[in-house]
Amino acid sequence: MDDIDATILRELQRDGKMSMAALGSIVGVAPSTVYKRIEKLKKAGIIERFTIVTNPKCFEHTLTAFLNIRVDPDEKPDIEDFIQSHPDILGAYEVLEPGDFFAKIRVQNITELKRSILMPLSDLPGVKEIQTIISVREIKRQG
């Protein structure tokens, strides 16, 4: 991957619908070259997929929360399964402190957060602690 590929990736993260011609003019190559480079990046697994980003204010699910989850190491697989299968969990990471998992949640309200996420998660064997952080506003979102 070179500087041209890096610029193509950065621009596509900013605007996934940008035309090959527009990308070509930014990086200084022909649109056909941009297309070939994107295909190469897809085949290499660098570009996994193209997606859209929705405005959460347009939906009922407007409460964003982050969970820091501390677990028993022997129970991690079951907790990972819960995290991966829950539709309101938008993303999650295994982290090194202060917990074991960090998850981003979007739900309708605090009652829904408790009912659909916190209570079932707390009931799983091996969950030692859940710290909930409620977002008051989003400052930056990228891709």
Rounded Cα distance, 114 and 120, in Å:
8
* Mean pLDDT over each residue of the chain, to the nearest integer: 90
Residues above pLDDT 90, as percent of the chain: 69
Average confidence (pLDDT) over 22-35: 92
pLDDT in tens, 30-88: 999 999 999 999 999 999 888 777 676 666 657 899 999 999 999 999 999 999 999 99
> What pLDDT, on the 0 to 100 scale, is given for residue 14?
84
Cα gap 55→58, rounded to integer Å: 6
Query: CA–CA separation, 20 vs 112, rounded Å?
Result: 43
Q: What whole-number distance in Å separates Cα of residue 45 and Cα of residue 41? A: 6
List, in sequence order, every residue forming a beta bridge with 68; answer none if it has no partner: 102, 131
pTM here?
Answer: 0.63
DSSP for 60-113 reads S--EEEEEEEEE-GGGHHHHHHHHHH-TTEEEEEE-SSS-SEEEEEEESSHHHH
